[in-house]
Amino acid sequence: MKTAIFSDFDGTISLKDVGYSLFHHFSNGKNDELLPDWKSGVMSTRDCLLAEAAMVNASPDEIYKFIDTIGIDPDFPKLLTICQEKSIPLQILSDGLDIYIKYLLEKANLTNLDFLANHAELVNNTIEITFDHENKRCQRCGICKGEIISGFRESKDEPYQIIFIGDGYSDICAAKEADILFAKKDLKEYCIKEDINFISYTHFDEIVLELKQRNIL
């Protein structure tokens, strides 16, 4: 059976949650007031992001200077290289913002990597967000990763083993679609609570080792 890998970005590929850290910094922590409603599903990701963006008053230079303080997992490029060598599809699915994902991937010389994320532009010292992806059923997510994975399966003429790598509540829908799930932090706690099978990890070197041991890589 062929394999496809999907990965979250914020706090998974990046060493810190870029979106949360960005909004936390430029709102002086006021965005934390939104998190309980977002985590419980009372507030959708789209409403949460728009509310967080409204709290920002910073120049593009200030925003990019802050983003520069956050790196990516140094072992992620290793997984990407192996996947490309073995023709294993690897795609980033993010409910964060394309503006910092693109920037950090380019900074790490990882420009040949496909990703989906919500769109953002820096305008008049704030962040304007648009949601270009239309979810079919999900009302929780900006971009529903579970629907993306389900659509990927349906588009193929043969079955695929789906691997998903994540760390938070934005990965809940994807976790339910994965055949092999790597989870940490909030996603790990959610999986324990909901009795969802997962493999615990901290960094991508552990993921590469596990997939090699399973003869997937």
Dump pLDDT digits (tens) for 25-74: 999 999 999 999 999 999 999 999 999 999 999 999 999 999 999 999 99
Residue holding tokens 């990927």? 152
CB distance 161 to 148 below 8 Å: no
Q: Nearest-CA neighbor of 98 among 49, 137, 47?
A: 49
180-183 vs 160-166, strand pairing mode = parallel
Enter the pTM of the model: 0.96
Other CB atoms within 10 Å distance of the CB of residue 130: 10
Cα distances (Å, whole numbers) of residue 39 to 44, 50, 94, 103: 9, 16, 16, 27
Q: What is the mean pLDDT of the chain?
A: 96
Longest dimension (CA), the chain: 51
Other CB atoms within 10 Å distance of the CB of residue 127: 25
* Interatomic CA distance for residues 148 and 15, integer angstroms: 24
* Interatomic CA distance for residues 86 and 153, integer angstroms: 19
Dump pLDDT digits (tens) for 101-150: 999 999 999 988 989 999 999 999 999 999 999 999 999 999 999 999 99
pLDDT score for 76: 97
Kindly state the helix (H) or strand (E) to which residue 97 belongs, with its residue range.
strand 90-97
* Interatomic CA distance for residues 141 and 64, integer angstroms: 25
Q: What percent of the chain has pLDDT over 70?
A: 100
What mean pLDDT is predicted for residues 180-185?
Answer: 98
pLDDT score for 61: 97
